[in-house]
A and B are shown apart, each in its own frame.
Chain A
Amino acid sequence: MAPHVTDDDVLRAVDLTLAYGPSVIQQKVSFGVRRGSVFAIMGGSGCGKSTVMRAMIGLLRPAAGEFLVNGEDYWAATERRRTDIGRRFGVVFQNGALWTSMTVAQNVALPLQLFTHLDAESIEILVRLKLSLVGMAGTGKLLPAELSGGMRKRAGIARALALDPDILLLDEPSSGLDPIASRRLDDLILELRDGLGATIVVVSHELPSLLSICDDGIFLDATARTAIAHGSPKRLLESCDDPTVQAFMTRERLGSPLHGAGHGDQ
């Protein structure tokens, strides 16, 4: 697949090893994310997808390896520099992670108030714009508790877009949404990519959404504790012959354990 821009990778992980204390979650994970692509971090539940994302947004220092943002080593930088780099990232957490005691509009406005010198009217204009981009115009005065799950997620996206990020990271964007809302969210992600020219990283295990929006990706495995396949979900579905990846992509039982166990006993 030809890259959009013949630029270097925006994000690049080199032999990243992630661990919580002594327990290693993933090791020697390497991948590159091209500018303007929608990159998928795939894998079954509990394989460490979100952990990889935590290392990308500054929440978990890798035990080994490098994570490069535009060629700059993120974790070798000073904390101040990391904050500066991180400001160009928009992060959407799994359940929106909205600040519950603020209204939706205040949630979107906070990054603008803290990190820019814009006046109140400009911030208000931008907040309204971001909310209407995600289809939430007119909901600014509501509290997060008054929103449905899908709306909370979209409000989370609006907040992530507040600072016009170059890179948008989404953790399980379509989990807990009905197929139509999930589809609409996928379309929104693509529209935002095209409109903003942003690079998008999606952490997900939802097949339909992965297949329809991602043009590149990596497949993490919980047993091997590393990446076992690289490429777009579509390519992995068509041509990857790793049994775990195939089972995931075709929603089959790996090595049909029922049969295996039955034969073993006899």
Chain B
Amino acid sequence: MHRGQLTPPGWSIERRGADAGLRLTGDWIAQETGVRHVAEIRAMLKEAAGAEHLQIDSRDLGRWDSALIALLLGLRQEIAAARQPFRLDESGVPEAARRLLALATESAGLGVAPPAAAPATVFARVGAAAISGWYRTFAVAALVGQVTLRVGAVFRGRLQTRAGDIMQLMSDAGAGALAIVTIVNTMVGAILAFVGAVQLRRYGTQIFVADLVGIAMVRELAAIITAVVMAGRTGGAYAAQIATMQGNEEIDALKALGIRVYDYLVMPRVIALTAMMPILYFYACAVGLIGGFAVAVTTLDLTAAAYLEETRNAISSTQFLIGFCKSVTFGTLVALAGCHIGMRAGRSAAEVGQAATRAVVAGIIGVIAVDGIFAACTNALNI
């Protein structure tokens, strides 16, 4: 279409007794000269009211596109809906426009009627929420059950998966995460030492900075911080990967081939993260302690030997055992949350994003909640 000078579209109604004529003039180009609204079409019909025929006269019509078809379609619909319908004579409409009009109306029946979405009552909404809540709980339980049942298969080497996949996932979740785990945990160790130094110096008990950093890192923070990092980094990625596969029908393809989706997608991820998290935990302890050590020795009046000796006395193997147990649990939890949310995601691009977000949030909240349970248990056991 050559978009040169356009004359604005116009219409006028001419009455000749029982006949009315709708004269169309100017250029009817949707993007340039707009589309006639329903109100305007009603105004046309109001002017023609009382006539039996409405003849369309397009002798002075310039160029046209969808705007004209939309007008003609609108006229048809309004006339059909009017209380006193009159005959629409479209013989004056350009041939090509008539063909499009025919196409638009004849194929209208081919489409599927939209599912009648009745406005949900409060009653229905509460019910739906309860059912979906129950279903979700059930789905989580089912996933945990499936994974537990397949643990036996892991040790018997009967898992339907490829060792190479697990190695790749381990490398992604382990070695791939080293940089961020190093940065975050060194900083946390250093910050602890700073905060401790400022407070403890007032009582002349600077040496206890070593106890503070040691116990806090080993028992709590190394495991939690690493798990939170992994929830953001790996849990979100698991959810996004699986949700994308869902959208591409890749999971359907696995199922159709008879491959157990849990074995092939969920188990390798759970195994990889559960195996890597404790290793990352020990590493995180080490870098955290080094961070604390560096800050303490440089800002406080302490010798390196005294600090190390104090640290060695402060952290027992029990502390490590607690941290280790936590990291294993956190690893399993983050992987399960990511996989579960990915498997239940919808099939659109937006839902992949939502799944990743939900997996990260669920992972972090889960880690902190489980840490609370650990605290209660160790307190009860006096360890």
Contact = CB atoms under 8 A, between A and B. Distances in A.
B74 interface: yes
The main secondary structure of chain B at its interface with chain A is helix
A207 interface: no
Contacts of B198: none
Interface of B: 1, 29-31, 34-35, 37-38, 65-66, 69-70, 73-74, 96-97, 99-100, 103-105, 107-108, 110-114, 117, 247, 346-351
Contact of A133 (B35, B96, B104, B114): B104
Ranked nearest first, the 8 interchain pairs of A and B with the lowest CB-CB distance are A135-B107, A101-B350, A195-B100, A122-B35, A135-B110, A100-B348, A145-B347, A101-B348
B1 A88 contact: yes
Contact of B97 (A116, A118, A138, A195): A195
Contacts, number: 109
A142 interface: yes
Interface residues of A, number: 39
Interface stretch (A124-132, A242-250, A257-265): A124-132
B175 to A, nearest CB: 31
Contacts of A163: 31
Contacts of A252: none
B103 A191 contact: yes
A116 B107 CA distance: 27
B97 A132 contact: no
Interface of A: 88, 99-101, 115-116, 118, 121-122, 125-126, 129-145, 151, 163-164, 166, 188, 191-192, 194-197
A139 B113 CA distance: 7
Nearest to A115: B31
Contact of B99 (A122, A131, A138, A191): A191
A100 B30 contact: no
B347 A133 contact: no
Contact of B37 (A88, A99, A121, A188): A121
Given A122-B35, A133-B107, A141-B114, A194 B66 contact: no
Contact of A135 (B29, B34, B37, B111): B111
Contact of B349 (A99, A125, A142): A99
B74 A125 contact: yes
A142 B114 contact: yes
A135 B100 CA distance: 12
Nearest to B107: A135
